[in-house]
Amino acid sequence: MLQEKLACINSMPEFRSELIVLGLGGTVDYEIKWDNSVFQGLIDSFQIRLSEIATSEVITTERELVCNILAYLKNSAGGERQLDNSEIVKIFSNRFEKKITLGGTGVRAAICMRKFGITSTLHLVSIDDYVRKLLPRDCPYICSSDVDTLDPHLIVQFSEKTSLYVEGIHISPSRADRIIITCDPPNEILELSAKLTETLKKAKIFLISGFNSIHNESLLKLRLNEIEEYSESLPEGSYVFFEDAGYHRPEFRPIVMERMARLSTFFSINEEELQGYLQRDVDFQDEASIVSAVHDISKRISVPILMIHTKYWSIVVGSNHVRYVDSLLSGITMATTRYIFGDDFTVEDFVSTGQLSKNQRSLEMADSINNQLANFGHFIPAFNAVCESPTTIGLGDSFVGGFILGLINDFI
């Protein structure tokens, strides 16, 4: 079914970019190539002790940055942390080989969809020459800033091959993940463009993301009010897609959720965000734990369509969920394709990914979980994705791009 939809998309006449509006902000990412010896050298030169390995609310020095990264590696967890000065990103990243890419949920989703001939309109809050150079040339954008700024995000990707020593104790994560380190005032302010009202008048789908970067509660509530007002410009029958994220101020999560749940057609979260809402750990390979989590989060987040995407499986929940199972599979396939092939994946890579085997444990649970969910939701096992150098950043963004790609026929 997914291949048929892909063939239909590829045979469509030129797609009009104004039909998809993706916001709210973009980033310039410094993706470092991890080097155990370089990082071990920093541990040794800074004389890091085991007792200092912890996360900070705000990172103020390169030494603190090293301690924070070690805390994530020790816990085999990804996450997002705030810096007080983006110069630390530039200093640290210069110690490694790095690749400069564009980030932000809307931007990465746009780049993914463009590979399939689908253009979109982007809402940005900052602009610079990297953005102008790396954005797809036929994807127009509006920007709330009229001056150039560059506040790069540091992207640290690690895997089971990451191996370090602190005071003789071996630290090696059990799985691949990523850490995002940021100091990005434009995204922390998240100013909206006055052009957004006009831009949304022809849109069939509006992606909203980025509230997680705001640090001030009054500003957050102002932006939530503004986005609600702007969304009134959408034509009747349009979709609003909200992709959640890791909040710099975790206490803001319920504020955003309550407002966005009222506005959204689709509300999408990953495993970390699911556990954050439930305030408990979920065993993602245990049937009872999964079913309980799905029922509990559905009561917590009341939306037409709720999606949960994890490393092991994804679920779509809602009274009309059957209509979006193929779109969910498209999202899973897109995220897995990026995981294996990185930024430079092709349509052929996407097709080959869709032919991979599924995660064995999730496959074993699928029928039983779907029977328990009945008419409530649908569970899809993840693909078995094995590669030497996985890309762990932007998987949720790619999931969004794949899901929207699967929706295209709904509004052509």
Q: Give the CATH number of the domain where residue 355 resides.
A: 3.40.1190.20
Q: Tell me the CATH number at 172.
A: 3.30.1110.20
Amino acid 411: pLDDT:
66
| Cα 293 to Cα 280: distance, rounded to the nearest angstrom | 9
| Cα 226 to Cα 234: distance, rounded to the nearest angstrom | 14
β-pairing verdict for 305-309 and 266-270? parallel
Number of domains in the chain: 2
Partnered with residue 358 across adjacent β-strands are 383
Distance from the Cα of residue 337 to its chain's centroid: 14
Check residue 127 and report its DSSP letter: B
Does 79 lie in the same domain as 215? no
The answer to whether the beta carbons of residues 126 and 147 sit under 8 Å apart is no
Domain that residue 312 falls in? 2-28+104-150+185-410
Does 378 lie in the same domain as 229? yes
| Cα 274 to Cα 255: distance, rounded to the nearest angstrom | 16
Does 379 lie in the same domain as 237? yes
Q: How many residues does the chain have?
A: 412
At 364, list the tokens. 């074993």
Does 233 lie in the same domain as 275? yes
Does 17 lie in the same domain as 108? yes
Does 360 lie in the same domain as 261? yes
Q: Which residues, including other chains, have CB under 8 Å from residue 41's CB and lie 6 or more apart?
A: none
Phi first, then psi: give them for residue 155, nearest 5 degrees: -110, 115
Amino acid 375: pLDDT:
87
Angle at alpha carbon of residue 379, lines to 80 and 396, rounded to 5°: 25
Long-range pairs for 174-177: beta carbons < 8 A, 24 or more residues apart:
174/76, 175/76, 175/311, 176/390, 176/392, 177/72, 177/76, 177/77, 177/78, 177/392
Does 45 lie in the same domain as 115? no
SS3 141: strand
pTM of the model: 0.91
At 200, list the tokens. 């949304």
Residue with tokens 């110690």: 95
Amino acid 364: pLDDT:
96
Does 203 lie in the same domain as 91? no
253, 259, 260, 265 alpha-carbon torsion, rounded to 10°: 140
Amino acid 410: pLDDT:
74
At 257, list the tokens. 């959720």
- For residue 24, say if its preceding peptide bond is cis, omega within 30 degrees of 0: yes
Partnered with residue 165 across adjacent β-strands are 170
Residues of the chain with pLDDT under 50: 11, 13
**Amino acid letter at 106?**
G
Residue with tokens 């705001």: 214
Does 196 lie in the same domain as 58? no
Helix (H) or strand (E) holding 118: none
Amino acid 86: pLDDT:
87
Amino acid 5: pLDDT:
57
Does 119 lie in the same domain as 53? no
Does 47 lie in the same domain as 22? no
SS3 235: coil
Q: Residue 241: which of 407, 56, 25, 35 has the closest Cα? A: 407
Phi first, then psi: give them for residue 203, nearest 5 degrees: -75, 140
Amino acid 4: pLDDT:
59
The answer to whether the beta carbons of residues 112 and 334 sit under 8 Å apart is yes
Does 157 lie in the same domain as 145? no
